[in-house]
Every structure is written in C-alpha cells, then in structure tokens.
C-alpha cells in the first residue's frame, strides 16, 4: 500500500505524465526491437532526439544490437522536447554514463524518433527507466524520475557481478 501511495505521489510531483504499465516488469525478458542509431540518421542528432544537449554515446547502438553485447543496459524512455523531468533525467544518465560507460550500455529512446520502442515496451508517459541485465531480463523499472543515489548502487552491483 505504501508503494502505491509513493507512486501516486511521484506522479503528482512530476511535470510529465507517467502512465501506462510498462509491460516488461522485473524479471521479464525484453523484446528485441530495432531502434534508430546515429548512423541511421547520418549523424544528425536532431533527427534522433529532442534533447538540447544530447550525448552521442546514447545513440550509437540499436537496442536489438545492445541485447547481443551481453552487458547491462540502461534504457531511458524520455522526450525532453515536451517533458522537463525528462531533460533532468538525461542529465543524470550522462553523469552515470561517465562512470559506467565501459561496463553498461546507456540508450535513450525519444518518442518522436523511436515510437516503435515505446510500443514494444508499452510505455505511456515519461520518463521511464528500464535497467536490463546482461541476459535481456528486466532487473528494475523506474517510472518517473530516478535519483543518482538510487541507480548507482544497482549499476555498481550489476557490473561487479558480471566481472567487469
């Protein structure tokens, strides 16, 4: 019951709508979906994200190819072109990427440019963060904003257990 009230409070406090159920919850195998990469858009970041300060590292690999790499994945669903919280979430992920870049794949899905990923994961509203283990199963799902202090220990644990 406390978790339900926490989720309701989180939804009320965020500037963006966090709806939908995110069909692929903890422990479930994720779908292999082809998503756009920088190569697909000729290196033009404005054709793959509405984020004002994009980091090219988040757009180099398609999600289906990332699954084949055998590394943990942080998959962020965020459309900062219409979501203030999404902008802040992507700033946080860039900081974590600087720490875990060699051991974890960070991918950003913008609804304007990768709607097929939103459909495959049945995500409605944003931001949503999916942490996926090296075997393609959801380790954790975070609807709404997540804090550095929440995600960092999980990534530290996952990278330690994979021998990275």
- At residue 18, the pLDDT reads 42
- At residue 19, the pLDDT reads 43
List, for residues 62-90, the tens digit of each pLDDT value.
999 999 999 999 999 999 998 889 999 99
CA dist., res. 36 & res. 62, Å (int): 6
Topology, domain 21-161: Glutaredoxin (3.40.30)
CA dist., res. 129 & res. 22, Å (int): 10
- At residue 5, the pLDDT reads 45
- At residue 6, the pLDDT reads 46
pTM: 0.83
Q: What is the mean pLDDT of each run of 10 residues along the chain (164 residues)?
A: 45 42 71 96 96 96 97 96 91 96 97 93 90 95 91 94 53
What the block records as the tokens of 87 is 């902008």
Q: CA 7 from chain center: how many Å?
A: 18
Q: 8-12 long-range CB contacts below 8 Å, 24 or more apart?
A: 10/143, 10/144, 10/145, 11/143, 11/144
């Amino acid at each position: 019951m406390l978790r339900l009230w926490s989720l309701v409070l989180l939804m009320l406090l965020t500037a963006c709508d966090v709806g939908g159920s995110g069909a692929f919850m903890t422990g479930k195998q994720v779908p292999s979906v082809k998503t756009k990469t920088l190569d697909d858009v000729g290196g033009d970041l404005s054709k793959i994200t509405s984020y004002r300060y994009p980091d090219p590292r988040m757009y180099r690999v398609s999600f289906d190819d990332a699954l084949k790499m055998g590394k943990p994945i942080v998959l962020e669903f965020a459309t900062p072109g219409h979501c203030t919280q999404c902008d802040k979430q992507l700033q946080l992920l860039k900081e974590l990427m600087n720490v875990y870049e060699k051991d974890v794949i960070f991918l950003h899905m913008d609804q304007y440019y990768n709607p097929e990923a939103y459909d495959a994961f049945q995500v409605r509203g944003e931001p949503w963060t999916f942490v996926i283990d090296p075997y393609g199963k959801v380790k954790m799902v975070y609807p709404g904003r997540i804090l550095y202090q929440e995600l960092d220990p999980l990534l530290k644990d996952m990278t330690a257990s994979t021998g990275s």
